Structure 1
Amino acid sequence: MYLYQLTYPGTWLQLESDEVRFEIEGALRALEGILTEAAIALSMFEESQSQRPDPRNEWERDAEIRRQAEDAIRKEAGDDYYQNFDEYRLLSEKRVRDKKAELGMLPRSYLHKIPFIHAHTFVYAVDSFGKYLEVLQEYDEIPGEIEKCSHEFDRLLPSVRKIRNSALHIEDRSRGYGPPRDKKKGKKMEVEGFLGLSNLEGNSLCYTIDDGSYQRVEISPEVLGILVSLANRVLASFEWSGPAHIEPSY
């Protein structure tokens, strides 16, 4: 499991307005929550990618479960088994599936999708981090360092926002539509190469974005490290009171 450290220089922000202080403290706590989500998603993504079942063992296990189900049904049905073979074949398949579920064996389609789910969770967390940096810039009381952090985020992770938008609007991208304004006009994208949606290439989640180009974002410790570094810079830029502490807490 990936663990990160955030250093809070104090306990309470030093701001004149209690209302603004409350809102900004809430945004900073949200950044911490986003880091936690990203760290967990990254850990689970890598774990799901590393799990490679032995095909031979899987085949032998499947064959034994099927043999037991078919033998039991053949014994129960007697002579009727061959008279209504299709009916009993379907019943046998249902029992095989019930047994596999009981043993915690997942369908191949489930196993295939698991890393994709964790990859999307990671990308959504990264995108939310960038959005909170933008929200923080709306306050007059914010240090100039926040704007620098936001620009740094955009520079280092330029494709995150577009990929997240394509993931959320995959029903439009799959039909070749880009931005909403173009969709309203019935104008489709000029796709570069091929239309790729929710592809995993190694540790990168890939999408055709709204300008028709094919983009990638890494699901990696390096990207998580960017968020942690920026979050610590954000925290250090404020004036604080009270004892310093490190999060997440144990």
Structure 2
Amino acid sequence: MLVFPLSMPGVWLDNDDHQWCFNINQILNELKSCFWEANTSLNLFNEEMCIAYSELENGSSSQEFQRDRIRIDEIISDIRLKNGIGPFELCYEVNQRATELLKKEKWENGVEPNELKFRKKFIYAKSFLYSLDCIRELLKVLSNEDNVPFEIQALLKLMDTSFPQLRAVRNSAHHIEDRALGFKRVRGKKVKIELQPVNTGAIRADGGIILLHQLNGTKLGFTMENGQYGEIDVSSTSMETIRVIIQGVFDSFKWKGRPVHLPS
């Protein structure tokens, strides 16, 4: 498990304007929440990737197939015996029913269908993506507040230079109904995306291609509205960059009270 600590320089913001303190504190608390969500998403993503690699190395899918084959033969025999069906009668129907019963049996025993298991890493990767996007939006709001330290603008710029494709990748992930058909929105109207050449290492398309929910190692990628392929790295490197930015935000304000080390 990876934990990325933060240090609050104090307990209360040092300012006589109570409304200002309330507003700033609300934003800072949300920054912390999004940061912990990103940290949690990264850990869950890493766990799921480790499980996938382990199953691949150990050949557990092959072993499961053999167990299923033995069990389905038992179910087929049981169906034929109970219903008086001969060994060469209704083969398709019996096999189909046996397959359905095997699936139900496995689900009731806690075995996840591959379709559900496969999506987990994408769920965690997108959760990481959305958390980073929320942090970026909160930084933008914070930078527009009155009397905030000048460092906030610099930290927002650092966020944008560190993750230049963040917003565009997030938009594609969130508006999959448009991207799936190769569209973007321009002033509320659907416009066809002009696809650009793509070379991810795993996929190459000189004429461009719509790519959605792609995982290239730890990088989550989508075709963006400009037709190019964009990625966000779901990694400890990205998380550490975010930690430095969030810590910089906290350190830029004046505080009262003793420092607090987080998480608890």
Same fold (TM over 0.5): yes
How far residue 75 of structure 1 moved from its aligned partner, in angstroms, is 2.5
Between the aligned partners of 1:34 and 1:42, the Cα distance in structure 2 is 12
Q: Secondary structure at the match of 1:178?
A: strand
- Which letter maps to 1:16? D
Q: Which residue of 237, 242, 245 maps to 1:227?
A: 242
Match of 1:66 in 2: 72
Match of 1:38 in 2: 38
Listed one character per residue, the Cα deviations across residues 30-80 of structure 1 (whole Å, up to 9, x for unaligned) are: 111111111111111111112132232111221233123223222221247
Q: Secondary structure at the match of 2:183?
A: coil
Q: Which residue of 213, 225, 233 maps to 1:210?
A: 225
- Which letter maps to 1:3? V
Matched, 1:98 2:104: yes
Q: Secondary structure at the match of 1:206?
A: strand
8 A Cα contact 1:197 1:206, kept in partner: yes
Match of 1:134 in 2: 140
Between the aligned partners of 1:108 and 1:6, the Cα distance in structure 2 is 38
Q: How does 1:82-97 map to 2 (within 5 A)?
A: 83-97=89-103
- Which letter maps to 2:19? E
Listed one character per residue, the Cα deviations across residues 211-232 of structure 1 (whole Å, up to 9, x for unaligned) are: 1111111011000001111111
Between the aligned partners of 1:213 and 1:238, the Cα distance in structure 2 is 39
8 A Cα contact 2:38 2:131, kept in partner: yes
Q: Secondary structure at the match of 2:184?
A: coil
TM, length-normalised to structure 1? 0.92
Match of 1:2 in 2: 2
Q: Which residue of 175, 188, 192 maps to 1:188?
A: 192
TM, length-normalised to structure 2? 0.88
8 A Cα contact 2:185 2:191, kept in partner: no
- Which letter maps to 1:90? Q
Match of 1:57 in 2: 63
Matched, 1:14 2:20: no
Instruction: State the percentage of identical aligned residues.
Output: 29
Matched, 1:160 2:160: no
The 1:64/1:79 distance shift into structure 2, 3 A limit, reads closer
How far residue 237 of structure 1 moved from its aligned partner, in angstroms, is 0.7
- Which letter maps to 1:35? F
Between the aligned partners of 1:74 and 1:18, the Cα distance in structure 2 is 78
Greater strand content = 2
8 A Cα contact 2:76 2:98, kept in partner: yes
- Which letter maps to 2:28? L
Q: Which residue of 177, 180, 191 maps to 2:183?
A: 177
Q: Secondary structure at the match of 1:226?
A: helix
Between the aligned partners of 1:36 and 1:142, the Cα distance in structure 2 is 23
8 A Cα contact 1:203 1:218, kept in partner: yes
8 A Cα contact 1:145 1:237, kept in partner: yes
How far residue 111 of structure 1 moved from its aligned partner, in angstroms, is 2.2
Question: Can you give the 5+ residue segments of structure 1 that lack an aligned partner in the other structure?
Answer: none
| Alignment size in residue pairs | 247
